[in-house]
Amino acid sequence: MIEPRLSTDEPMRLHRLRCLSQLDTPLEERFERITRLAQRLLDAPIAAISLVDADRQWFKSIQGFAAEETSRRISFCGHAILHDDVLVVEDARRDARFAGNPLVTGPPNVVFYAGCPIRSVDGSTLGSLCVIDRKPRKLSREDLQALQDLAKIAELEFSTAMDRGAQEELIKQVDALARIAHVDSLTRVWNRESIFRVLEKEIAAAKQAGRSACVIMADLDRFKPINDTHGHVVGDEVLRQAAKRMLGAIREVDALGRYGGEEFMIVPGNCEGLESAREVAERVRERIGGAAFHTESRDIEVTVSLGVAYCDDPGTMTVDALVKGADDALYRAKDNGRNRVETAIVSGEGAAKAA
């Protein structure tokens, strides 16, 4: 195995990377979409967007393997960023740079690798979009073009400032090291403390703008039997997949956090009304229950119940009132048969009424 060398512009490259404010941030659907497409178009079991930091590669998005980062010294993407074009490794076991690499001899058991550099607007290499297979293969001209096209889309996404509302404000307020403490380590969405901070900021913005605020509570149905029957490893995989499906159902301006266990909280950004929030919740319900979850054990059918709380009265618009209203609506959804959405309007002194 040969460790990747540093790039000739390493200080500037790292400066550009940190200016992105992307390291250790929660998952985003706009990047999840790219890795899903790469996985599907190139028929690869694993696809990832990797950002190469000083001593690690960190995955902004990864499909097919549960990892958040690896050491830079064993990374394939550490080699890919040194190339002007796509780095193709047809059989890593026979390549002196990678033979004996822990990522080859152990999980994810990389054999084939293709990585296209992702660059900033000034040309600095940030990382790569890569696909991985566990068997030797070649990359066709069509596949090569597809990977390059998707890498260009990733570059555009990194260069585009997204309006993510209150959660964008939170990202800007904390540095890269602090961000780690704000993200749930299993699902890579906001953790409980941080999603509450996002809700607080959203309520403050709503009061200032004179508009409504909403919150959605989502709880996976009958999750305990999944853990009891298939084990916690499978249960964890279901939670990871559920978070990704929820991300795919909400808007970029909406924030998703893990409330605890199998329960999640969604804070709709710039809430336009109760029906708008209910539509978000219905999309989440349909995305979760629309297809079985693929796990190592077996395919598992999963559904979700959701409670939506809405408030347009600045006097009663508080975190506690909205969360309680959404919780009450969630319990009604459970009592009324599960796999459904119930709503509540928070009014006078924070009381919540079914809507």
Q: What is the 3-state secondary structure (H, E, C) of 144-195?
A: HHHHHHHHHHHHHHHHCCCCCHHHHHHHHHCCHHHHHHHECCCCCCECHHHH
Cα–Cα distance, 250 to 267 (Å, whole number): 10
Exposure string for 33-67, b = 16+ CB within 10 A, e = fewer: bbbbbbbebbebbbbbbbbbbeebbbbbbbbbbee
Give the per-residue pLDDT at 176: 57
Strand ordering across the sheet containing 263-267? 255-260, 263-267, 213-220, 304-311, 341-347, 351-354
Give the per-residue pLDDT at 296: 83
Alpha-carbon Rg for the chain, nearest whole angstrom, is 22
Q: Which percentage of the chain shows pLDDT scores above 70?
A: 92
Q: Amino acid letter at 124?
A: S
Q: Do the strands 255-260 and 46-52 form a parallel or antiparallel pair, or are they unpaired?
A: unpaired
Give the per-residue pLDDT at 316: 82
Q: Note the pTM of the prediction, 2 decimals.
A: 0.85
DSSP code, position 274: H
Are 276 and 212 contacting, i.e. CB atoms less than 8 angstroms apart? no
Mean pLDDT along residues 11-25: 92
Mean pLDDT of the chain: 92
Q: pLDDT confidence of 182, banded at 50, 70, 90?
A: confident
Residue 129 — φ and ψ, nearest 5°? -100, 125
Contacts of 310 (CB under 8 A, 6+ apart): 212, 213, 214, 271, 273, 274, 277, 325, 343, 344, 345, 346, 355
Number of Cβ within a 10 Å radius of residue 86: 20
Mean pLDDT along residues 225-249: 95
Are 159 and 20 contacting, i.e. CB atoms less than 8 angstroms apart? no
pLDDT of 347 over the 90 cut: no
Domains of the chain: 10-160 (3.30.450.40), 166-354 (3.30.70.270)
| pLDDT tens digits, 121-166 | 889 999 999 999 999 999 999 999 999 999 999 999 998 865 566 6
Residue 96 — φ and ψ, nearest 5°? -60, -30
Cα–Cα distance, 56 to 67 (Å, whole number): 12
| pLDDT tens digits, 294-304 | 998 889 999 99
pLDDT of 350 over the 60 cut: no
pLDDT of 169 over the 90 cut: no
Give the per-residue pLDDT at 40: 96
Q: Do the strands 213-220 and 263-267 form a parallel or antiparallel pair, or are they unpaired?
A: antiparallel
Q: Which of 314, 51, 68, 25 lies closest to 170 in space, CA to CA?
A: 25
| pLDDT tens digits, 258-276 | 999 999 999 999 998 999 9
